[in-house]
Every structure is written in C-alpha cells, then in structure tokens.
Amino acid sequence: MASVEELCLSKLTIDAVEILVEKGITSIPEKFIRPPEERFTSPTPSEDVEEQVPVIDLEGLNCCEGSIEREKVLKQLAYACENWGFFQIVNHGIPESLMEAMMNVGKAFFALSVEEKQAYAALPGLIMQGYGSKYIAREGATRDWRDYIYLLLQPHSIRDYDYWPSDPSDFREVVHNYSEEALKLAKRLMGAFSLNLGLPQNYLETFIVQPYQNMLINYYPPCPEPELTAGFYAHSDIGMATLLLQETGSKALQIRKIDKWVPVVAASGALLVNIADQVEIISNGRYKSIEHRVVADKDKPRISIPVFCDAAPHAIIKPAPELLESRMNDEAAKVEEMKENPNYSTIVFKNHEIAFYTDGANSKKYVQSYMVQA
Ligand code: OGA
Ligand code: NI
C-alpha cells in the first residue's frame, strides 16, 4: 500500500498527454503506439443515409399515451435500439443554452494550465474521481491519446466536491444543472426502452435499484502521429446508456456496424445516445451495446462530454425474467427455442465495472464472457 507521502506526491503527477503536446514532440512515445492490427484505417463519412446513425426527434414522446405522435417516436427508438445501438436525439428537453454552457465549462477547465488542473488530480487507483489520463489500470496497457476529468454525479451522496473545479467559476453550477437534466432525460429513455421491450415503463429504472450517474469530460489533444494511436480505443460502455455531448459536425467517433466502422457526424443541438452493456444483458441481447472508438486528430483538440447512466453498484444484472417468461408464452418464440433461454449469466454491476477499468482494452470481452453457451 502506498504511504501518505507517496499518495501526496502522485497526486501532483498526472501523466497528462497534454504535457507531451506542450513539449512540441513530433513523434509519439512507444506506450501510445498500437500494434498494426489495432490501428484505425480512416473511413470517410458515408453519404448513404442508410449508413448514418438515426436522428430522432423526441418531441412526440411528450404527447399522451397511445397518441400517434408518441407511438411514432417509440417505434423509431425501437428500430434504432434493435438495429444500431446508437442514435442521435433532438428536442430531448435539455436546453441548448445548458448544453452550450456545459461544453464551455469543459473547454475552460482544459484551457487551464496543466499545473492548475493537477489540483484536481485523481488519486491512483481504479475508478477514481478527478483529473486523469491513464484510464485502464493494467501495467503495459497501450495508452489512449486522451486526458479527462471524471466526476460522480448521482445520487448526490456520491459526489466529492473536492474534485469539482472552482475555475471556471460557474463549473459547479453548470455541471449540477446539466446532471439534473441528463438524469430526467435518461429516465425518459429508460421508460421508452422498457415499453419497447414489452415491460412496464419503470422496469429498467427499478431493475437497476437506483440510477447512478457519472460524467467524463474527455480532452483529446492534437496528436503528431494520429495514425499510430487511438483517441479512445474500441470499447463498449459498461452501464445502462450513455448521453454524449460533442460539438456539431464532429466526426471523430466511430461505431462498429457489423464488419465496418461508421463515423457519427454530430448533428446540431443533438445528443448521441448509446445502449450500454447492462441494457444488452437485461434485454437478453435484443438490444446490443455497440463498440465504438475515437480517432486522434493531427491538428484540432476535441472535447466530448459523456454522461453515463449506470446501475447501482450492488445491482444484480441478468436477463429480465419477465422477458423470458413472456417469450415462453409467445407461440412464435416457442418455435425458436433458443430465445426462451437466458443468453447471459447473472453479474453484479460493480464487478463488471472493476473488470473493465482493470483491463478494458479488449472491448467487449467481458460481455461475451457472460454469454451462456448454447
Ligand atoms: C466514452 C466514449 C466517445 C467520445 O467516454 O466512453 O466513448 O466521443 N467517448 O469521446
Ligand atoms: Ni464509450
């Protein structure tokens, strides 16, 4: 165990990628270089509408139950969840001014000097709040070309305000307000997913005991050799769903669509939503948590702000029994016998989280390891 002195010392030495960039390096250190088979060949955004992540207007979700408008949105969401696992949403209820303020406080924090940011440095260890850069704990894991600040937000009792920057001065207020709005939105989406899966509206929310929420502000500095590394290597998100705020027009995020990587072009005023591992398991694989990755860029820095809607740490995650039972009663499902069985074993959310942060480099291997062999 590290001594207090060691902890104090290490608190001051986040190995930020930004420091390398400030030094003006022209080639990247070994620890960021991926083996050739893990490097990104850069796809150009497809013009084909069929190849674009759906953009869904959520306005109709406010209409009364059974209304045509609401049913239409639910159908669009069901299609996106079943066929993409990713979609953008507009008219989602988070005011554009708050999204802008959130992006601005993220930018203002990363505009501080590295020394100023070190005041919020995360302590060494797994899943620690604060400013950091080394995400995956395994020694020797290839590093991503990325720095971040990680904050636990909901329930309020998990917040540690020591790690909430006081500069810019509105950081705390904006993050608090954004967190509250994102929680409301995540609950509405959980409600829609539940209904679309044939479950009561509050099913997913109750199943995970209590929604937990955390936020990353990712900072991707410009990279002198982007083709050799990754902004964020391929992974699937571990919680229930993620709401990602990014700048309009950004194309850095790519998602896996069968055997291709498809870039997402950020739409104006939109948030990008993705299904994460817990929903894949609870839905018994009807909705898939899709792998995604971020390319590093030679010239421009990029900020992205995902809010993760997770399960309570002690939540037991398994395929929804109701779903299995209702399929058993379904004559059509009886024919396809495999679908009546749980496709995933039971896990505790916290263990999944620890596994990911210990050795997350190999993206979906944990979810695959929970799959019940036929
Ligand atoms: C993540 C993530 C994507 C991005 O933080 O889990 O996938 O665009 N981020 O930064
Ligand atoms: Ni992700």
Q: What is the bridge-based pairing of β-strands 316-317 and 347-348?
A: antiparallel
pLDDT of residue 40: 85
C-alpha distances (whole Å) from 159 to each of 106, 151, 152, 340, 354 are: 18, 7, 5, 41, 19
pTM over 0.75: yes
Testing ligand 1's pocket by substitution, the residue of 216, 255, 293 carrying the most ligand atoms inside 8 A of its CB is 216
Closest by Cα among 175, 168, 158, 298 to 226? 298
pLDDT of residue 362: 62
CA distance 263 to 115: 34
* Structure-token pair, residue 297: 């860029």
Ligand nearest to the CA of residue 275, numbered in listed order? 2
Q: Rounded to the nearest whole angstrom, what is the distance from the C-alpha of residue 244 to the centroid of ligand 2? A: 9
CA distance 240 to 182: 13
Compute CA 266 distance to the chain's CA centroid, rounded to the nearest angstrom: 15
pLDDT of residue 319: 96
CA distance 343 to 111: 46
What pLDDT tens digit does each residue of the chain (374 aa) get? 555 555 555 455 789 999 999 999 999 999 999 999 899 876 655 656 568 999 999 999 999 999 999 999 999 999 999 999 999 999 999 999 999 999 999 999 999 999 999 999 999 888 899 999 988 878 888 999 999 999 999 999 999 999 999 999 999 999 999 999 999 999 999 999 999 999 999 999 999 999 999 999 999 999 999 999 999 999 999 999 999 999 999 999 999 988 889 999 999 999 999 999 999 999 999 999 999 999 999 999 999 999 999 999 999 999 999 989 766 566 665 555 445 689 999 999 999 999 888 887 665 778 888 888 75
pLDDT of residue 372: 87
pLDDT of residue 359: 80
pLDDT of residue 91: 98
Ligand nearest to the CA of residue 305, numbered in listed order? 1
pLDDT of residue 53: 95
Q: Rounded to the nearest whole angstrom, what is the distance from the C-alpha of residue 283 to the centroid of ligand 2? A: 20
* Residue owning the nearest CA to atom 6 of ligand 1: 237
* Residue owning the nearest CA to atom 8 of ligand 1: 253
Position 297: which residue type? Answer: D
Closest by Cα among 14, 274, 292, 12 to 143? 14
CA distance 205 to 241: 12
Ligand 1 neighbours by CB, cut-off 6 Å: 216, 218, 232, 237, 244, 246, 253, 292, 294, 304, 306
Ligand nearest to the CA of residue 272, numbered in listed order? 1
* Residue owning the nearest CA to atom 4 of ligand 1: 304
pLDDT of residue 338: 42
pLDDT of residue 335: 53
* Residue owning the nearest CA to atom 1 of ligand 1: 306
